[in-house]
Amino acid sequence: MVRYSIFDPVAANFDQHRELPEGVAESVRTAIWSTTRLPPATPILDLGAGTGRFGQVFVAANDFYVGVDSSQEMLREFLKHNAGACLILAEGQQLPFRDGTFGIVMLMQVLSGLRDWRGLLSEARRVLRPEGAIVVGHTVNPPQGINTQLKERLATILQEMNIGWHEPKKSRGQALAWLEASASRHDHVRAASWKTNLTPREFLVRRRTGARFAALPAAVQEEALQKLTAWAQNTFGSLDTISTEEHSFELDIFHHSK
């Protein structure tokens, strides 16, 4: 039974700093349908549906869409935009569906934040039809971009403070390898790309609304952000230094056959 999620306290402001550029979600939907080549009525399960940043376009298109999330508050935000969406509050490691229910299982920007990815992916595989597809999506930032540098520095700061911190790249890589081992085919697709202007200050503000960071003790958050702020000022010259970067949203689609 789901009682509380670390995403509950940040749900109301989650999209404020993570809004997708116009057309990205639509391009992701188009890429999924064109690459999987499954019938239009294929049931879709969106694991970690959140506030519906991607799910809303499937609902708007009248796809057979079901969104699942462990955060009741995130799903409430989803329903504010799509009151008729089929949304279910559940843990991804214990899905309330029969085996082989869905033709497509989506995990959009989910794997990097997972510790128990094996449990989630085992359930995703269980509820997938024999000839279905598991779709993993994530945003790709430039290796030397502002976001990448600040994320890496924050991880170092927390480690120096003896605060256990998740290694998203390692976790995601292991999960993708696990999925590929059981798939009959693996397609990698760049669904959308865009240019955006970023500043260190925007990252610092957004980090406060990150669920895992916000779950740390307040004193730890403040100390870490103070150290990160000082590093950013020294590295970039100013918190308002603008960097124009190209980002993309990429999909790993794992096809299965009987």
* Per-residue confidence (pLDDT) for residue 58, from 0 to 100: 97
DSSP 92: T
pLDDT, residue 206, reads 87
Element (H, E) at 58: helix 55-60
pLDDT in the model for residue 1: 54
What is the per-residue pLDDT for 4? 64
pLDDT digits (tens, 9 = 90+) for 184-197: 999 999 999 999 99
What local confidence, expressed as pLDDT, does residue 209 receive?
80
Encode pLDDT of 43-69 as tens digits.
999 999 999 999 999 999 999 999 999
pLDDT, average across residues 167-185: 88
Could you report the per-residue pLDDT of 220-237, keeping only the tens digit for each?
Answer: 999 999 999 999 999 999
Give the bridge partners for 173, in sequence order: none
In this prediction, what percent of the chain has a pLDDT beyond 90?
Answer: 73
Q: What rounded mean pLDDT belongs to the chain?
A: 91
The DSSP symbol for 159 reads H
Residues 76, 62: Cα–Cα separation, whole Å: 20
Best CA proximity match to 43, nearest among 92, 115, 105, 113: 105
The full DSSP string for 179-234 is HHHH-SEEEEEEEEEEEEEE-HHHHHHHHTT-HHHHTS-HHHHHHHHHHHHHHHHH
- Residue 60 CA, chain-centre distance (Å), reads 20
Question: What is the pTM assigned to this prediction?
Answer: 0.90
The tens digit of pLDDT for each residue in 93-150 reads 999 999 999 999 999 998 876 777 899 999 999 999 999 999 999 999 898 899 999 9
Q: Does pLDDT of 34 surpass 60? A: yes
Tell whether domain 8-142+167-196+246-255 is in CATH 3.40.50.150: yes
Looking at the predicted structure, is the pLDDT value of residue 176 above 90? yes
